[in-house]
C-alpha cells in the first residue's frame, strides 16, 4: 500500500514513517491524495443547504498538504481520525458560524478527534510532542483538535494553543494531562 503524495511536497515525518496503513476516512484505504481532498471537502451541512463546497486550485493545493499532515497524524496514533470539519467555503463557513478568515476557508485546517487513541487532550499532546510539521495546533474546548498547515511558501509557526471558552480566548500551550487521560490512552 502506498500513498500518492503530491509532488514537490514533503512526505510526512520522513525517515521515521513506514508505509501509511491508516486512512483518515472510515471505510477506505489510503490510496490517493484525491480521496483525502474529497474527504476534507465533505460536509453534511453543505449537502443539506445545497452549498457547493468545492475547492478552487489554490485551496486544493492547501488541502493536499493538509491531507499529508493528517496522514502523518494517523500514522503517529495508529488509527484513522474522525474529521469533524475540513474545508469550508465562505458560505459554508457562515452557515456553521465559523470565524471569518478561518484557515478552514483556505483549506489549511481540519478539526478531528480520535477516540480509539484517547481524549482530545491526549491527542493534542501526542501531536505536539511529535516531529510533525504544522502551523497551529489548537485543543478546542477539550473536545477536538484543530490542526492547520502554513500557506504555501510560508514558515509553519508550530504554535500550540488551547481554548476553553470564548471569554478567556486562546491560551498558549496545552493543559497538563491528567492521570485519567494517561490511563485512557492505554485502553485499546
Ligand atoms: Zn477548526
CA 58 – CA 178 distance, rounded (Å): 41
The rounded Å distance from CA 49 to ligand 1 centre is: 20
**Vertex 148 angle, CA 147 and 153, to 5°:** 155
The rounded Å distance from CA 98 to ligand 1 centre is: 8
The rounded Å distance from CA 41 to ligand 1 centre is: 14
Q: How confident is the model at residue 82 (pLDDT cuts 50, 70, 90)?
A: confident
Nearest alpha carbon to residue 119 among 63, 87, 65, 162? 162
The rounded Å distance from CA 178 to ligand 1 centre is: 24
The rounded Å distance from CA 147 to ligand 1 centre is: 7
The rounded Å distance from CA 20 to ligand 1 centre is: 24
The pLDDT tens digits for 43-77 are 989 999 999 999 999 999 999 999 989 988 988 99
Helix (H, G, I), strand (E, B) or coil at 139: strand
The rounded Å distance from CA 27 to ligand 1 centre is: 23
Q: What does the pLDDT read at residue 186?
A: 53
The pLDDT tens digits for 121-132 are 999 999 999 999
The rounded Å distance from CA 17 to ligand 1 centre is: 26
Greatest pairwise CA separation for the chain in angstroms? 47
CA 99 – CA 64 distance, rounded (Å): 22
Locate 90 and state its grid cell.
465562505
Q: How confident is the model at residue 80 (pLDDT cuts 50, 70, 90)?
A: confident
Amino acid at each position: 500500500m502506498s500513498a500518492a503524495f503530491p509532488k514537490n511536497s514533503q512526505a510526512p515525518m520522513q525517515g521515521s514513517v513506514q508505509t501509511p496503513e491508516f486512512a483518515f476516512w472510515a471505510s477506505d484505504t489510503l490510496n490517493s491524495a484525491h480521496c483525502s481532498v474529497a474527504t476534507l471537502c465533505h460536509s453534511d451541512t453543505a449537502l443539506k443547504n445545497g452549498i457547493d463546497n468545492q475547492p478552487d486550485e489554490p485551496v486544493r493545493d492547501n488541502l493536499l498538504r493538509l491531507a499529508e499532515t493528517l496522514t502523518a497524524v494517523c500514522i503517529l496514533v495508529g488509527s484513522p481520525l474522525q474529521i469533524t470539519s475540513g474545508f469550508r467555503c465562505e458560505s459554508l463557513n457562515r452557515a456553521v458560524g465559523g470565524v471569518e478568515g478561518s484557515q478552514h476557508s483556505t483549506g489549511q485546517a481540519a478539526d478531528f478527534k480520535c477516540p480509539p487513541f484517547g481524549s482530545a487532550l491526549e491527542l493534542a499532546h501526542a501531536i505536539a510532542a511529535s516531529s510533525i510539521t504544522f502551523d497551529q495546533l489548537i485543543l478546542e474546548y477539550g473536545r477536538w483538535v484543530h490542526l492547520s498547515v502554513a500557506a504555501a511558501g510560508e514558515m509553519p509557526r508550530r504554535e500550540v494553543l488551547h481554548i476553553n471558552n470564548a471569554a478567556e480566548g486562546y491560551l498558549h500551550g496545552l493543559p497538563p494531562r491528567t492521570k485519567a487521560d494517561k490511563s485512557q490512552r492505554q485502553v485499546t
